[in-house]
Homo-oligomer: A and B are copies of this chain.
Amino acid sequence: MVNTFEIIGFIAAVLTTLAYVPQVYKTWKTKSAGNISLTMYIVMFTGIMLWLLYGIHLNSLPMILANAVSGILTLTIVFFKIRYK
């Protein structure tokens, strides 16, 4: 049986992964990113890639999936930031 805390952990993973989607959408739609910190997204992307490595080492599919998706989303924001300033 799935424990309540496992469900909380699962919802946490989904929320902290998908949270980037509205930022990707907003930046793409407005084509402006002046108030966004490039440093934040470079550091975040680097950290997420290390989480991904760690997840691969642990053979944890939820960690691998969550960090692969977050990695794509944060890298998209890095590209938008460079493109739209």
Q: A residues near B, CB below 8 A?
A: 5, 8-9, 11-16, 18-23, 25-27, 30, 32-37, 39-41, 43-44, 46-48, 50-51, 53-54, 57-58
Contact = CB atoms under 8 A, between A and B. Distances in A.
A12 B47 CA distance: 4
B23 A37 contact: yes
Contact of A35 (B16, B22, B26, B53): B26
B53 A16 contact: no
Contact of A34 (B11, B18, B35): B35
A15 to B, nearest CB: 3
B5 A51 contact: no
13 contacts: A5-B54, A5-B57, A5-B58, A9-B51, A12-B50, A12-B54, A15-B46, A15-B50, A22-B37, A23-B40, A32-B34, A33-B35, A34-B35
